[in-house]
Structure 1
């Protein structure tokens, strides 16, 4: 039986380093959670501020990494737990992106909705990295929210 457990960023990044198919560990976070089978960690979720500065409104967080060893239901359990923790911290929306070749079944099982394609194949602009940090592939954006609007005058707390 799977259970959610607390994780440090160092622990979560070590799991990502060992198991993630196409991403490296992250630099920062708001929080990390793990999933255990009672004997070992079988998955982690790392949640932080949105990578896109346009979405960083102070009310939204992003699942920046979700990684499992393939254990059945671990992904959907982590996505659901990440949303519960996000809400408990007072945020109103949680977003994430998957590759367009991934199905999104775990996200759908956790109650998230697909909002369509996002971005392009690569980062663009002056600050783009010299080497791609993720596969040059289209992404699909998923989100979950509580349906509430931020208090009047606080639509964007990070401006």
Structure 2
């Protein structure tokens, strides 16, 4: 497997086709691709500003999505590549979330540690009764999540 730079558009298309429960992110700081020996794209990761305002300190990066076609160790390779790139850019911390029923094995293999479990939250549709019927139900509303992080060792 080989790490390669990719555009947001390429990452979004891959995620739209392969991700099992999330839509592609709308923006990013950078995206990373993973290709097999034949040069076929088999995984992507997107990284951007933290969604939670209190984590958006300028030194924390959030991995918003990873998505693979299921090859062994592909997710770990992507998490590791994002963290290496983030460190090279001066980030001190990288965070991401999993659904509570996911093992996190790929994250642990890349050096991430489990920080805490987060209770289910209402989806975005719950924030506005007027918009409720216009919002798409896909996402993580109503699902318990786990916050993971990796930090630069000082």
TM-score (ref. length: structure 1): 0.86
1:147 Cα deviation after fit: 3.5
* 8 Å contact from structure 2 (residues 4, 35) kept in 1: yes
Q: Which has the higher helix share?
A: 2
* 8 Å contact from structure 2 (residues 123, 139) kept in 1: no
RMSD after superposition = 1.9
Aligned to 2:32: 33
Measured against aligned partners, the alpha-carbon deviations of 1:35-85 in whole angstroms (never above 9, x if no partner) come to 110221110000000011111011001000100000111000000000000
1:6 Cα deviation after fit: 0.6
1:111 Cα deviation after fit: 0.7
1:134 Cα deviation after fit: 1.2
1:133 Cα deviation after fit: 4.2
SS of residue paired to 2:53: coil
Measured against aligned partners, the alpha-carbon deviations of 1:99-143 in whole angstroms (never above 9, x if no partner) come to 001000000001110011125332478579734441321000100
* 8 Å contact from structure 2 (residues 44, 67) kept in 1: yes
Query: Gaps (5+ residues) in structure 2?
Result: none
Matched, 1:142 2:148: yes
Measured against aligned partners, the alpha-carbon deviations of 1:14-33 in whole angstroms (never above 9, x if no partner) come to 00000000100111100000
Matched, 1:116 2:116: yes
SS of residue paired to 1:107: helix
TM-score (ref. length: structure 2): 0.88
Query: Gaps (5+ residues) in structure 1?
Result: 149-159
Number of residues paired by the alignment?
A: 147
Structure 1 runs of 4+ aligned residues shifted over 2 Å read 118-133
